[in-house]
Amino acid sequence: MRNTRPYDPLAKKAQHNSTTESDAIRQRPKKIKSSKGVAGKEYIHESAIKHVLGSAIYTDDMPELPRTLHMAAGGSRFSRAKILSMNLEPVLASSGVVAVFTKDDIPGNSDIGPVFPGDPLFAENETLFVGQPLFVVAAETYEQACAAAELADIEYQELTPDITVEQGIKNQSFVLPEHTIESGDPDHAIKTSARTLTGSGYIRGQEHLYLEGHIAYVQPLEDGGVHVFTSSQHPTEVQKLVAEVLNIGSHKVIAEVRRMGGGFGGKETQAAALACSAALAAVKLNRPIKYRMPRKHDMERTGKRHDFSYEYSVGFNEDGIFNGIDMTLAGLCGCSPDLSQGIVDRAMFHADNAYFLNQSRVVGLSPKTHTVSNTAFRGFGGPQGMVAIEAVIDDIARELNIDPLTVRKRNLYRPGANTTHYSQPVEQLVLQDIIAEVENSSDYWARREAIKTFNTENTYVKKGLALTPVKFGISFTAQHLNQAAALVHIYTDGTILVNHGGTEMGQGLHTKIAQIVANEFSVDIDRVQVSATRTDKVANTSPTAASSGTDLNGYAAKLACDEIRTNLIAFAVEHFSVEKESVRFEDSCVFVGEESYTFAKFCQLAYMNRISLMAHGHYKTPKIYYDRASGKGHPFFYFANGAACAEVLVDCLTGEYKVQRVDILHDVGHSINPALDIGQIEGAFIQGMGWLTTEELLWDEKGRVLSNTPATYKIPTAFDVPREFNVSLYQSANPENTVFNSKAVGEPPLMLAISVWSALRDACSSVANYQCSPPLDPPATPEKVLAAIEYARAFQSNHS
Amino acid sequence: MIQLCLNGQWLELENSDPSETLLHYLRTKLGQNGTKEGCASGDCGACTVVVAQYSEATQSWQYHSINSCITLLASLHGKHIITVEGIAESYEGEASLSHLHPVQRALVEHHGSQCGFCTPGIVMSLFTAYENNGGAALTENQILDSLSGNLCRCTGYRPIVDAGLEAHQYSKAGQYSKVGHYSKQTTPEKTYTTETACFKTDTAQCIFPASEEELIQLITQHPQARFVAGGTDLMLEKTQAFKSLPQLIGLTHIDSLREITITNNNVSVGCGVTFSDLERELKDRLPSLVALFHRIGSRQIRNQGTLAGNIANASPIGDSPPFLLALDATLELNGPNGLRVVELNDFFIDYKKTELQPGEYIRRVLFEIPNDNFVQSYKISKRFEDDISAALLVVRWSVDNNYFKNVRVSVGGMASTAKRVVSVENALEGQPANQETISTAKALFKTELSPISDVRASAHYRITVIENLLMKAWLEFSNNHAAKTQCVNVWQPNVERKVSQQFGGDYA
């Protein structure tokens, strides 16, 4: 068995580097003082044994209460139509149906938009997208509800919809105003550059395809409130919206999440519609309601990753170094704002990826279309901005006939050129080092030469290679979300219960939090239980999103532990008349001078002396601010970094390809759990690879999703994983004061997969002896790869 | 009454709707919620369970993974079902590592689950591979084959494949020997699957005749009845469209329809024969067809889906019809009006329209294993595994004295039915076997075919790639006969599996 030995860990506090910028390039953050404890070890996921036994309970697995009804929604047939009449009699008459509810039944607010209004629970007079709920039906069984929902007799007057980014822009239809981040004088810089290029491309969105579809199970409570079991990354928002829809106080709504079967951002805002609809029926009928969508509805009626179109004009010197860039990013927002402001902003923030753009203008557009409102998806716009700039780099490299890696390295943020277009300095200049390590471990240059030879010798099959970096900003760009709270209870037997605001969707958040808490008291992890996320335990939580789950909730839990520990130490000092320094928590014991007590005994003693054994910790991220009007500030606490080198083998007759080898080095700071972090990196990479290769999200001209089942939307299988797949954690601690000096890991590694896309483009380019940069809009399906090869062939024959 | 053995315990399912799915029964009637519903269409594998069959011939248990979400409950009458709840040692309260089956334990120790929702299905797929292999070390190919129908959106699969590779190391002496421990406690004697069985409720009836005579009688009595063998397509009407299936006739209790016979290269495949059965029989005799089977659906689907069902379904895509067309296959059709034989080439009439008359069923599929130099299929899809073809080309030819002869060229996904492309065949037949002939011939595809654009591919790509595939076939053929100087197949890269994870441990 490979490397299952936990390495010896770590860390109380990082020592901040006080080096000059130029040392900072080559110098890693200092090593940190080691300490005994469970943070830093490869604990298995807290639910792993339950997962493999099938005993982990997801919302749909909960025993149903007597009189539970099942819900389904009748969806609009048209993307944009006036509803002339709606006859629901056939629905009511259908077998097993108990009731139907429409917008007229909503006692409170009917708009469930999370940030801005625009998301009516049920369609108002005009429909917004195909499948938009018009009404819901409650029936005795799931099948009866689903069958009945199809029976409504609805008269529509079809209107002309906008379906594409292009149509939205052409008709000047936007969900949010245009936004610009500008630095210096890009027009002048481009005009006066030795070389210029313009280009454009289109990046398709992505379906989350979490294996557990959306669900809500709502039980009415005796005081007019509801208990909502929801598949939500944001239970507080579900609580708030349910209360608003029902027109009751938030204090009467409990939203609870034990676990989700995957989220990936798809359950940040999208769970609310199910919860609110089910809550409405639960209160009206005084019966428990379960609302689970068939997969096809889930894929049709919930938001996805935004499609983005991009256009750029870039000026650079003969070495390929940016002088200035003017880039426009337009995200297909769908019918409402949802989270699109943050998503388009994040795409704009990441239009630099890891590179100093110099004089730059980044414009963000948010076209409105008559399609489902697009939403959060791992990376939150960042990946699209980064694909765009990596395309620019590849284009420059082909233009100058320089290896793309060289152009990448030359443009990295560096001393004297480390200010982003939104004026935040990049303080941790680690990418030079990370890239150098991957260059070395992947043997990039030798393989580059070997691949060139292979490509010369082979007509029908070509290889491609690319090494791309990732720099990803960590923090919610909405400042107020960067806070969290946790509740730690120690019982008199020395066991510890933790509740915090984060939700578990597979990422191992609860495992990491248990490790943090166990570490604080130097007890076994088995002694710590993390309970289901509940809005009645920790209030006003932020979504578990933006990779921030551990950074925020972990720190909050640590602060709660600190408080209890402080109280316990003060108690010991008084009770035993000792110095503070002589009280130590070690090996599941509390040492007081020469004496030692088991942790349980000590807790019992403290209790008998009327010392509180519970505490609430609240954390807010320091340092961050951002003025959106000027596009300037320090929106990110720090950046997470990484690099990947991918090699592909392409069939030039069909466009089929196989990813052969991938080498990854990724920076998670001081890892709280290396096994879980590796899992996040590998999983994100494969998910990103799917986005850029086989996952093709398609709509028809009427706004119907064509890729609406797992039969037509293809995420990677085990076969697609590169057979040579090396993943390493970069050995460094986060110099910022994060919990255990770790770094966020959820989203950043998704963008490592851009290396695969860039390698495919490299292989296509080789057909023209690397003299052209063929367009290859992701996802690079075999069809698109063959088109790129044909483009390169045509280029070759025109230029030889 | 349906009787089945669930995790070693025989159950009598009173008043159960015979047309419901196994998954529905497990979750809503038995409260066995370990098995998950991810898609209810057999595409994700979260619902994977195992059918165990005792083979008198080999005196051993054989395990077949299936998608319980699209499995007709009635078709499991008399069978042993194993679910994720049934493979660990029994435990009270909280289970520990020592209770786990080796594949479960390997998954835990390799961090093979994250959100855990796909995990029960992954466990059962790996369990199948592990137990069928007697607990010995599995190869990577065996693992990938077993997982071909299991989607995981979290892990990226590497730790899951690692768990499969190392599961054998977790078996303990005396525990989990060759067969799962549940099966030792149970008797395999139940022979319901060869008897007539009739299951009825007020709303649905499902009859499994035990002989063809009975079958014909039933067809006469119930002319509206639908046939079901594997049911992997039929059941979607229930789980996707929420339609009822009030009248079903099952074909899987009739021995004669479950037979594969091979005499003098003549293959006869009964309509109850699954792809997996055929793979075993043909893997040495017609490996190119078996290679195509490996790209039809997933292991779970192939454990249930039948060759005859794939033909009767009359999808324009296939994937087996184009290959069978190239083999000049014939079909025995049977029904109340008697037995008749039609050529497969005459069977497909138009989109989803066939020669089958009301009440007729495909009794057998007949073909000859060719002794030509070359027969090969090329499937194009976005994803290699478990995807529906954008385009499929099958070529068959002999080269005699440097001339093509006995040429067959057939396609899927290019027209309203799977079909032979006669103009291309004619352009090759009797012509010199060289690249020029191929170039001339491939230009004819677009004169005979006008494919559509859809979610899988554009018409332009379909035509281009079909032309190129003919060239690829030629290159592969000629490469086989000359020095292999050029690589032409990206799917067989000569790379060893090599994975590593470095935790970066020099903090201490």
* Residues B350, B225 share a domain: no
* Residues A393, A473 share a domain: yes
Is B491 close to A656, i.e. CB distance below 8 A? yes
A56 closest CB neighbour out of B111, B116, B458 = B116
Report if residue A24 sits inside a domain: no
Q: Is the CB of residue A211 less than 8 Å away from at least one CB of chain B?
A: yes
Better-predicted residue by pLDDT, B370 or B504: B370
Is B490 close to A683, i.e. CB distance below 8 A? no
Q: From the CB of residue A6, how many other CB atoms can be counted at a distance below 10 Å?
A: 16
- Reported as a pLDDT band with limits 50, 70 and 90, residue B488 is low
Within 8 A of A679 by CB-CB distance, chain B residues are 111, 114, 154-156, 159
CA distances in angstroms from B106 to A425, A596, B34, B54, listed in the order given: 45, 39, 18, 26
CA distances in angstroms from B367 to B288, B323, B331, listed in the order given: 14, 11, 9
Task: Flag whether pLDDT at B175 surpasses 70.
Answer: no
pLDDT in tens, B31-73: 999 999 999 999 999 999 999 988 878 878 899 999 999 999 9
Is A58 close to B117, i.e. CB distance below 8 A? yes
Report if residue A73 sits inside a domain: yes
Nearest Cα residue to B186 out of B288, B78, B258, B313: B78
* Residues A219, A278 share a domain: yes
Q: Is the CB of residue A65 less than 8 Å away from at least one CB of chain B?
A: no
Residues A762, A766, A770, A771, CA torsion sign: negative
* Residues A359, A424 share a domain: yes
Helix H or strand E segment including B395: strand B391-400
Q: Is the CB of residue B154 less than 8 Å away from at least one CB of chain A?
A: yes
Q: Is the CB of residue A32 less than 8 Å away from at least one CB of chain B?
A: yes
Q: Residue A177 and residue A158: Cα distance in Å, rounded?
A: 27
Amino acid, res. A658? K
List Cβ neighbours of A105 (8 Å cut-off, separation of 6 or more).
A280, A284
- Domain boundary residue among A565, A589, A620? A620
* Residues B360, B260 share a domain: yes
Q: Considering only alpha carbons, which residue of chain B is nearest residue A725?
A: B499
CATH number at residue B277: 3.30.465.10
Q: Which of A207, A244, A256, A747 is catalytic?
A: A747
Q: Residue A712 and residue B204: Cα distance in Å, rounded?
A: 31
Report if residue B189 sits inside a domain: no
Task: Flag whether pLDDT at A3 surpasses 60.
Answer: no
Max Cα separation, chain B? 82
Report if residue B69 sits inside a domain: yes
Nearest Cα residue to B70 out of A709, A386, A141: A709
Report yes or no: A69 and A44 within 8 Å, Cβ to Cβ: no
Report yes or no: A768 and A400 within 8 Å, Cβ to Cβ: no
CATH number at residue B241: 3.10.20.30
Report if residue B20 sits inside a domain: yes
* Residues A657, A578 share a domain: no
SS3 B73: helix
Within 8 A of A438 by CB-CB distance, chain B residues are none
Pairing between β-strand B340-343 and β-strand B330-334 as defined by DSSP bridges: antiparallel
Q: Residue B198 and residue B193: Cα distance in Å, rounded?
A: 12
A687 closest CB neighbour out of B27, B120, B153 = B153
Q: Is the CB of residue A683 less than 8 Å away from at least one CB of chain B?
A: yes
* Residues A676, A597 share a domain: no
Q: Is the CB of residue B224 less than 8 Å away from at least one CB of chain A?
A: no
Within 8 A of A455 by CB-CB distance, chain B residues are none
CA distances in angstroms from A718 to B65, B151, B408, listed in the order given: 17, 8, 34
Report yes or no: B442 and B436 within 8 Å, Cβ to Cβ: no
Question: DSSP state, A45?
Answer: P
Residue A230 phi, psi dihedral angles, 5° rounding: -135, 150
- How much is the pLDDT for B16? 85
Q: Residue B63 and residue B52: Cα distance in Å, rounded?
A: 5
Is A721 close to B161, i.e. CB distance below 8 A? yes
List Cβ neighbours of B27 (8 Å cut-off, separation of 6 or more).
A60, B33, B35, B37
- Domain boundary residue among A301, A335, A366? A301
Does residue B297 come out as left (phi exceeding 0), alpha (psi in the -120 to 50 range) or beta? Answer: left
Nearest Cα residue to A645 out of A747, A724, A730, A547: A724
Which residues 117-156 in chain A show a CB within 8 A of chain B?
Answer: 143, 146-147, 150
Mean of the pLDDT values across residues B404-416?
Answer: 97
Write the DSSP string, A693-759.
TT----B-TTS-BS--STTTS----GGGS-SEEEEEE-----SS--GGGB---SSGGGGGGHHHHHH
Show the domain range for A685. Answer: 308-477+627-798
CATH number at residue A488: 3.30.365.10
- Reported as a pLDDT band with limits 50, 70 and 90, residue A520 is very high
* Residues B115, B59 share a domain: no
Which residues 251-270 in chain A show a CB within 8 A of chain B?
Answer: 259-264
C-alpha neighbours within 13 Å on the C-beta side of residue B236: 12
- Domain boundary residue among B341, B368, B395? B368
Report yes or no: B48 and B125 within 8 Å, Cβ to Cβ: yes
CATH number at residue B161: 1.10.150.120
- Reported as a pLDDT band with limits 50, 70 and 90, residue A28 is very low
* Residues B259, B246 share a domain: no
Report yes or no: A489 and A560 within 8 Å, Cβ to Cβ: no
Q: Residue A242 and residue A182: Cα distance in Å, rounded?
A: 40
Instruction: Supply the mean pLDDT for chain A.
Output: 94
Q: How far is CA A413 from the centre of its chain?
A: 24
B422 Cα to chain A: minimum distance (Å): 23
Q: Is the CB of residue A729 less than 8 Å away from at least one CB of chain B?
A: yes
- Domain boundary residue among B250, B265, B289? B250
- Reported as a pLDDT band with limits 50, 70 and 90, residue A8 is very low
Q: Is the CB of residue B452 less than 8 Å away from at least one CB of chain A?
A: no
Report if residue A177 sits inside a domain: no
List Cβ neighbours of B414 (8 Å cut-off, separation of 6 or more).
B316, B391, B445, B449, B451, B462, B466
Report if residue B91 sits inside a domain: no
Mean of the pLDDT values across residues A375-388?
Answer: 98
Q: Is the CB of residue B187 less than 8 Å away from at least one CB of chain A?
A: no
A710 closest CB neighbour out of B41, B489, B507 = B41
In the block, tokens 């491309």 appear at A201
Which residues 433-472 in chain A show a CB within 8 A of chain B?
Answer: 457-461
Within 8 A of A72 by CB-CB distance, chain B residues are none
- Reported as a pLDDT band with limits 50, 70 and 90, residue A30 is very low
* Residue A747 designated active-site: yes
Is B507 close to A58, i.e. CB distance below 8 A? no
* Residues B227, B155 share a domain: no
Alpha carbon dihedral B131, B135, B136, B142, in 10-degree steps, equals 30
- How much is the pLDDT for A426? 98
Q: What share of chain A is helix, strand, coil (3-state, %, to 5)?
A: 35, 25, 40
Better-predicted residue by pLDDT, B318 or A671: A671
- How much is the pLDDT for A557? 98
Show the domain range for B360. Answer: 255-368
B84 closest CB neighbour out of A53, A651, A678 = A53
pLDDT cut 70: percent of chain A above it: 95
* Residues A257, A405 share a domain: no
Report yes or no: A753 and A691 within 8 Å, Cβ to Cβ: yes
Report if residue B175 sits inside a domain: yes
* Residues B280, B361 share a domain: yes
- Total number of domains in chain B: 4
* Residues A644, A792 share a domain: yes
Is A212 close to B100, i.e. CB distance below 8 A? no
Q: What angle do CA A75, A78, A83 make, to 5 degrees?
A: 80
Q: How many residue pairs bridge chain A and chain B with CB atoms within 8 Å of each other?
A: 342
* Residues A275, A152 share a domain: yes
* Residues B281, B161 share a domain: no
Mean of the pLDDT values across residues A285-312?
Answer: 98
* Residues A263, A333 share a domain: no
Nearest Cα residue to A695 out of A299, A261, A268: A299
Which residues 751-790 in chain A show a CB within 8 A of chain B?
Answer: 781-783, 786-787, 790
Nearest Cα residue to B101 out of B127, B133, B74: B127
Q: Is the CB of residue B93 less than 8 Å away from at least one CB of chain A?
A: no
Report if residue A672 sits inside a domain: yes
Q: Is the CB of residue B220 less than 8 Å away from at least one CB of chain A?
A: no
B interface mutation test: which of A51, A267, A304, A741 has the most B CBs within 10 A?
A51
Q: From the CB of residue A798, how many other CB atoms can be counted at a distance below 10 Å?
A: 9
Tokens (6 digits) for B408: 């067959």
Is A719 close to B95, i.e. CB distance below 8 A? no
- How much is the pLDDT for B489? 72
Instruction: Supply the mean pLDDT for chain B.
Output: 92
- Domain boundary residue among A277, A301, A325? A301
* Residues B220, B205 share a domain: yes
B161 closest CB neighbour out of A694, A718, A733 = A718
* Residues B202, B243 share a domain: yes
Task: Flag whether pLDDT at A486 surpasses 50.
Answer: yes
SS3 A685: helix
SS3 A263: coil
Within 8 A of A715 by CB-CB distance, chain B residues are 151, 153
Q: Is the CB of residue A506 less than 8 Å away from at least one CB of chain B?
A: yes
Report if residue A146 sits inside a domain: yes
Say whether the peptide bond before residue A779 is cis (omega within 30 degrees of 0): yes
* Residues B390, B364 share a domain: no
Report if residue B37 sits inside a domain: yes
Mean of the pLDDT values across residues B222-248?
Answer: 95
Is A457 close to B486, i.e. CB distance below 8 A? yes
**Which stretches of B155-223 are assigned E, i.e. beta strand?**
197-200, 205-208
Task: Flag whether pLDDT at B197 surpasses 50.
Answer: yes
A188 Cα to chain B: minimum distance (Å): 43
Task: Flag whether pLDDT at B108 surpasses 80.
Answer: yes
Report if residue B315 sits inside a domain: yes
Q: Residue B24 and residue B283: Cα distance in Å, rounded?
A: 35
B496 Cα to chain A: minimum distance (Å): 7
Report yes or no: A65 and A221 within 8 Å, Cβ to Cβ: no
Is B490 close to A650, i.e. CB distance below 8 A? yes
CATH number at residue A293: 3.90.1170.50
- How much is the pLDDT for B191? 60
Report if residue A2 sits inside a domain: no
* Residues A671, A752 share a domain: yes
| ipTM for the complex shown | 0.96
Between the two ends of chain B, the Cα-to-Cα distance in Å is: 65
- Total number of domains in chain A: 3
B123 Cα to chain A: minimum distance (Å): 7
* Residues B456, B396 share a domain: yes
Pairing between β-strand A533-534 and β-strand A253-257 as defined by DSSP bridges: antiparallel
Q: Is the CB of residue B123 less than 8 Å away from at least one CB of chain A?
A: yes
Write the DSSP string, B339-367.
-EEEEHHHHEEETTEESPPTT-EEEEEEE
CA distances in angstroms from B92 to A529, A775, B27, B345, listed in the order given: 19, 60, 21, 60
* Residues B131, B62 share a domain: no
* Residues A398, A501 share a domain: no
Is A729 close to B500, i.e. CB distance below 8 A? no
List Cβ neighbours of A97 (8 Å cut-off, separation of 6 or more).
A91, A137, A138, A139, A144, A145, A148
Is B97 close to A461, i.e. CB distance below 8 A? no
- How much is the pLDDT for A26? 34
Q: Considering only alpha carbons, which residue of chain A is nearest residue B151?
A: A717
Q: Residue B28 and residue A63: Cα distance in Å, rounded?
A: 10
B120 Cα to chain A: minimum distance (Å): 6
C-alpha neighbours within 13 Å on the C-beta side of residue A479: 10
* Residues A566, A487 share a domain: yes
- Domain boundary residue among B207, B234, B250? B250
Q: Residue A671 and residue A732: Cα distance in Å, rounded?
A: 9
- How much is the pLDDT for A39? 82
Between the two ends of chain A, the Cα-to-Cα distance in Å is: 55
Report if residue B239 sits inside a domain: yes
